[in-house]
A and B are shown apart, each in its own frame.
Chain A
Amino acid sequence: MTTSAASSAVVPSQGKRPAFRTVRLILRRPAGAVSFAFLVGLVVTAVFAPVLAPYDPYAQSLSEQFQGPSAAHWLGTDDYGRDVLSRLIYATRIVVVAPVVAVGIAVLLGLPAGLLAGYLRGRFDAVLSRIADALLSIPAIVAAIAIVAVLGPGIGPTMIAIGLVFAPRLYRIVRGATLTVVEEGYIDAAESIGCSTRRILWVHCLPNVLAPLLVQVTLMMGFALLAEAGLSFLGLGVQLPEASWGSMLKAAADQQFRAPYAVVPPGVCLTLTILALNTLGDVVRDVTADRKNS
């Protein structure tokens, strides 16, 4: 009797198994499997870039400027005669690392703050939420530009800027999810048996905010990639000749009157990657929502 009451009051069990099941459910959906495979492919490409790339991405050859696609250069060459395909392949390293670092920073700041605010509520929550709301009225790119203005241009500052900009967004999601958990009652039960605040947050609250967090993180990766590309395009992020899809777009744009369609390959890569992240995010949302309902 006591046992059953206790087990129903405590957090619904969250071992490793449900996590695996979630992954399986995601992969069972065609859209989920395709997006996941695409993203895994990106990571593999980034790791094995030196093996996969047919040319040195920085090797200039001014005699081979702006060539169209050919057997030697599948996607042609750019303004300095560099092989576009090789540059696209090397750029995946930025694509993989930048969003992960940026979103990682956002999680590092937003997650603890959100958990605490949702759990403690009261004045702490009110003040933090008011500030988060205020910061959210600055468009992401504009806020990132302001931060880069202080930190100076470069890929590092760009990632920090994007992370800082996303932190209040993540805070809001985590706080909301924590609030619902707290209101469901089993936190009271944990308190009544004398769990410490830290234990309640990490053992009881965290597992229950993981699902919305996962959805948000996936979608944010897409936004982060977009923001990185945008800032690099503006010349504030990745600096030439370093290759990122955004910086490649900038180079192509500067020479657009000479080679109007050089803007196509990096843009297609960007679009497909963001599409994959958005689709995966939607699938994760559906799957976790279904599991919660069942």
Chain B
Amino acid sequence: MVIRLLRRLGISLVSLFLVAVVVFLLMQAAPGDAAEALVGSDATAAEVEAARERLGLNEPLVVQFGNWLLAAVQGDFGTSLYSDRPVIDSLLAAAPATISISVVALLIAAVLGVTAGTVAGLRQNSWADRGVSLLATLGIAMPNFWVGLLLVSVFAFDLGWLPATGYVPIEQGFGDWLRHVILPAFALALAMTAEVARQTRGGVVDVLSRPYILAARARGASRGWLVRKHVLRNSAIPVVTVFGLQSASLLGGVVIIEAVFGISGLGTLAITSVVRQDYPVIQAYVVLVALIVIVINLLVDISYGWINPKVRS
């Protein structure tokens, strides 16, 4: 178990390192010069050269990357070319909004997806099953930002129940925070909910056909007991897998959802940085998102062992 974990951790670190390398090389291909951008267009050649020296841009690429990595590990992702602020400060300022939407969306997807999938799987070919199937197919096909726009049209502009845009930090009141977070979270969660529901249904149908379910029923297990003690846990592995895969695309989707709802989170920061050609911010952002995805995958992998004791050995 410990060895498996260490091995898995090692692979994760290698992945993260490779991501950092690729993103670093990609940013090298970007047009423009960081030094010029920093000192401004009316600076003299000498000033630019001084800036180059200060930023370490005259060093070989390997050294530059090493310096970046060394600093990054300590939480220093360099300085924004646009605002002169440390990149990490901009990221940390934008993170809470993104985290709020993503976490609420994950919760919605988990609760709604697993419930709908379980109901559909238990009542195979019933109306409920067909309904869930249809909704799941639609949910996967509808672009999340369009769903967001529709939600805004209905709940904000037409009914006026919820705010159309903006984000309120949770410290300023849970209710207000939730009112701002709920629509984007729902729009973001839809596709993932659909995938989780599909996978859960498939898992439940598969598990129900297993002999140990018959054996448990022969012991007198009622429907509720069967679901709680046997079905859910055994059908969890494919569900957890899809959960890991989908959380990656959810972290991508949140970028567009932030734009729909005018929320200044990490995605918005990334987009404005693209427009401003603020490469250090983009670089840090991509590596950070990859780090989160890698950690999620690691957790998913660990959970396999928890779900199925055989994996532990």
Direct contact of A and B (CB under 8 A): yes
Which of the residues B152, B253, B273 comes within 8 Å of A141, measured between beta carbons?
Answer: B253
Contact A260 B158 (CB under 8 A): yes
- How distant is B259 from chain A, measured CB to nearest CB, in Å? 6
Q: In the complex, what residues of A have CB within 8 A of residue B167's CB?
A: none
Q: In the complex, what residues of B have CB within 8 A of residue A236's CB?
A: 271, 274
- B22's nearest neighbour on chain A, judged by CB, is A135
CA distance A229 to B147 in the complex (A): 13
Contact B146 A249 (CB under 8 A): yes
Which of the residues A133, A149, A261, A263 comes within 8 Å of B15, measured between beta carbons?
Answer: A133
Q: At the interface, yes or no: A187 with Cβ under 8 Å from chain B?
A: no
Which of the residues A139, A147, A233, A272 comes within 8 Å of B249, measured between beta carbons?
Answer: A139
- How distant is A39 from chain B, measured CB to nearest CB, in Å? 14
**Contact flag A140-B249 (CB < 8 Å), given A147-B26, A150-B30:** yes
- How distant is A147 from chain B, measured CB to nearest CB, in Å? 7
Contact B256 A234 (CB under 8 A): yes
Contact B149 A134 (CB under 8 A): no
- A144's nearest neighbour on chain B, judged by CB, is B252
Q: At the interface, yes or no: A201 with Cβ under 8 Å from chain B?
A: no
Map CB proximity to A onto B2-37 as digits: 1 under 8 Å, 0 otherwise: 000000000000111111001100110111000000
Q: At the interface, yes or no: A267 with Cβ under 8 Å from chain B?
A: yes
Q: At the interface, yes or no: A252 with Cβ under 8 Å from chain B?
A: yes
- How distant is B221 from chain A, measured CB to nearest CB, in Å? 35
Q: At the interface, yes or no: A270 with Cβ under 8 Å from chain B?
A: yes
Q: How many CB-defined contacts (below 8 Å) exist between A and B? A: 143
Q: In the complex, what residues of B have CB within 8 A of residue A137's CB?
A: 15-16, 19, 248, 290, 293-294, 297
Q: In the complex, what residues of A have CB within 8 A of residue B234's CB?
A: none
Q: In the complex, what residues of A have CB within 8 A of residue B16's CB?
A: 134, 137
Main secondary structure on B side of the interface with A:
helix
Q: At the interface, yes or no: A275 with Cβ under 8 Å from chain B?
A: yes
Contact A150 B26 (CB under 8 A): yes
- A227's nearest neighbour on chain B, judged by CB, is B252
Which of the residues B22, B153, B285, B294 comes within 8 Å of A256, measured between beta carbons?
Answer: B153
CA distance A257 to B18 in the complex (A): 45
Map CB proximity to A onto B239-283 as digits: 1 under 8 Å, 0 otherwise: 000000000110111011001100000000011011101010011
From 50 to 107 in chain A, residues with beta carbon under 8 angstroms from any chain B beta carbon are none
Contact A138 B290 (CB under 8 A): yes
Q: In the complex, what residues of B have CB within 8 A of residue A249's CB?
A: 145-146, 149
Q: At the interface, yes or no: B289 with Cβ under 8 Å from chain A?
A: yes
- Which stretch (B38-46, B67-75, B134-142, B300-308) binds chain A? B134-142
Q: At the interface, yes or no: B164 with Cβ under 8 Å from chain A?
A: yes
From 51 to 68 in chain B, residues with beta carbon under 8 angstroms from any chain A beta carbon are none
Which of the residues A130, A153, A279 comes within 8 Å of B18, measured between beta carbons?
Answer: A130
Q: In the complex, what residues of B have CB within 8 A of residue A134's CB?
A: 14-19, 22, 290
Contact B146 A149 (CB under 8 A): no
Contact A145 B249 (CB under 8 A): no
Q: At the interface, yes or no: B131 with Cβ under 8 Å from chain A?
A: no
Q: At the interface, yes or no: B161 with Cβ under 8 Å from chain A?
A: no
CA distance A88 to B95 in the complex (A): 36
Q: At the interface, yes or no: B157 with Cβ under 8 Å from chain A?
A: yes
- How distant is A223 from chain B, measured CB to nearest CB, in Å? 9
- How distant is A172 from chain B, measured CB to nearest CB, in Å? 12
CA distance A5 to B124 in the complex (A): 46
Contact A138 B19 (CB under 8 A): yes
Q: At the interface, yes or no: A206 with Cβ under 8 Å from chain B?
A: no
Which of the residues B26, B149, B153, B289 comes within 8 Å of A139, measured between beta carbons?
Answer: B289
CA distance A148 to B274 in the complex (A): 8
Q: In the complex, what residues of B have CB within 8 A of residue A152's CB?
A: 31
From 141 to 184 in chain A, residues with beta carbon under 8 angstroms from any chain B beta carbon are 141-143, 145-150, 152-153
Interface of B toward A, CB cutoff 8 Å: 14-19, 22-23, 26-27, 29-31, 137-138, 140-143, 145-146, 149-150, 152-154, 157-158, 164, 248-249, 251-253, 255-256, 259-260, 270-271, 273-275, 277, 279, 282-283, 285-286, 289-290, 293-294, 297
A-B contact pairs, 20 of them (CB 8 A): A130-B14, A131-B22, A137-B297, A139-B251, A141-B249, A141-B252, A142-B252, A142-B289, A147-B26, A149-B282, A230-B145, A233-B259, A236-B271, A256-B149, A260-B153, A267-B146, A271-B138, A271-B141, A274-B142, A275-B137
11 more CB-based (< 8 A) A-B contacts, given A130-B14, A137-B15, A274-B141: A137-B16, A141-B249, A149-B279, A149-B282, A236-B271, A249-B145, A256-B153, A260-B158, A263-B146, A267-B142, A267-B146
